Amino acid sequence: MSTDFETIIPLAMAKLKFGIGATEELGYELKTMAAERVLLVADKHLWDVGLVDKVKTIIADEGIAVAIYDEIHIEPTDVSFRHAIEFSRGVEVDAFVALGGGSTIDTAKAMNLFSTYPADLYDYINKPIGKGRAGPGPLMPLIALPTTAGTGSETTAVIVLDLLDLHLTTGISHQHIRPSMAIVDPLNTLTMSPQVTASSGLDVFTHAAESFTNKPYNMRPKPESPAQRGAYVGSNPISDLWSEKAITWAGEYLRRACYNGSDLDARTHMAMGSTFAGIGYGNAGVHIPHALGYPIAGLAKDWIPAGFGVDEAMVPHGISTALTAPACFRFTAPTNPAKHARIAELLGVSTDGLSVSDAADLLPEAIVRLLREVGCPNGLSAVGYSTADIPKMVEGGWKQQRLLVGSPRPATETDLHQILEESMVLW
């Protein structure tokens, strides 16, 4: 093999504690980190179900002081981040706890980064939108307790935010951002509405499917030094193990979790699937669905999703990535039909007697069926867009070169336009 290409597979992940009742061990874990003053970053809606009080008590019972920030914006923005960062700079803490979904965990990551190493927001935002600076060193301990099953933010080194003036979703990525520990307790996901369950679960699927089909690590240029190796290294045998299992569970349990929110078995498998997908894509990376999902979310017009407790236009992240998934995987299937056929099989498609290529061709249909059965909107037109919006979406997606580089099939702006056009109506 040419030394011009990558030969090394790194795997980085947060320390993980998973299981029913794992929340009860939060205080113990903070004590092992020598925490004395904790900032609890929590979704405000969790006060109503008693989770904030519960977690606050668990921390305080260990003699640890607790400050609370709960001004979380669903789908964080540059404005909400600046507000949160300003708050974190005004309190003296030595550890963070994030209680909520991906929006909450990402907000806590940002508070930890910018309070430890103050800088302008755009200094750390990924290139070409920002300067793409790396955090100079380790951050304070951060324990993430996810209450949704989708983002995998509890184990990734990525922060996602909307830039309001640019109508664009982008991110910050560096290994130091990753939480010190994830405590994943399926009991904390029981309060999700069917709509939030569907959106977060679809995020599990797209994360896992995109990492599974990502441009392989050994087809990427070898970095000049370990420090220059990106967080996303491409698909590889290690990340494939995590991603494949996550796809399996999404195919088997997402519908059950949506139809019956008290189905603890389904909730447990989706929570595990979210974490597994997070480990998979946090290593391998995502590609076209997420690259296009960012402008789809960032350009939200007038559609307000039910079940999210918001009164402003928003296309939730899981939905924004899932709506183009059928067309995206139709586009990438020729690069590795076997992997695309495998995803179809994991979604329950019978491929007996079919060639690998013909089996791969069934994947878009399988994804559409999953979207329909969990109540996803019928394409981009159903969330307020028309073909007139496609050029702006292409423009925003094209700026996500850090993600597009992971596509196993190079995509041009014309290709992105075609994918979006095919995604206007799905069934």
Predicted confidence (pLDDT) at residue 296 exceeds the cutoff of 70: yes
162-169 mean pLDDT: 86
Predicted confidence (pLDDT) at residue 1 exceeds the cutoff of 80: no
> CATH 1.20.1090.10 occupies which residues in the chain?
194-422
> CATH 3.40.50.1970 occupies which residues in the chain?
22-184
Q: Output the pLDDT for position 184.
A: 97
201-215 mean pLDDT: 98
Q: Output the pLDDT for position 3.
A: 63
319-323 mean pLDDT: 97
pLDDT tens, position by position, 12-32: 888 999 999 999 999 999 999
Predicted confidence (pLDDT) at residue 363 exceeds the cutoff of 50: yes
Q: Any idea what the Cα angle at residue 14 is, between residues 340 and 216, rounded to 5°? A: 30
Q: Output the pLDDT for position 18.
A: 97
Q: Output the pLDDT for position 313.
A: 93
- Grouping H, G, I as helix, E, B as strand and the rest as coil, residue 211 is helix
pLDDT tens, position by position, 166-188: 888 888 988 899 999 999 999 99
CATH code: domain 194-422 is 1.20.1090.10
pLDDT tens, position by position, 96-137: 999 999 999 999 999 999 999 999 999 999 888 899 888 889
% residues pLDDT > 70 (the chain) = 99
CATH code: domain 22-184 is 3.40.50.1970
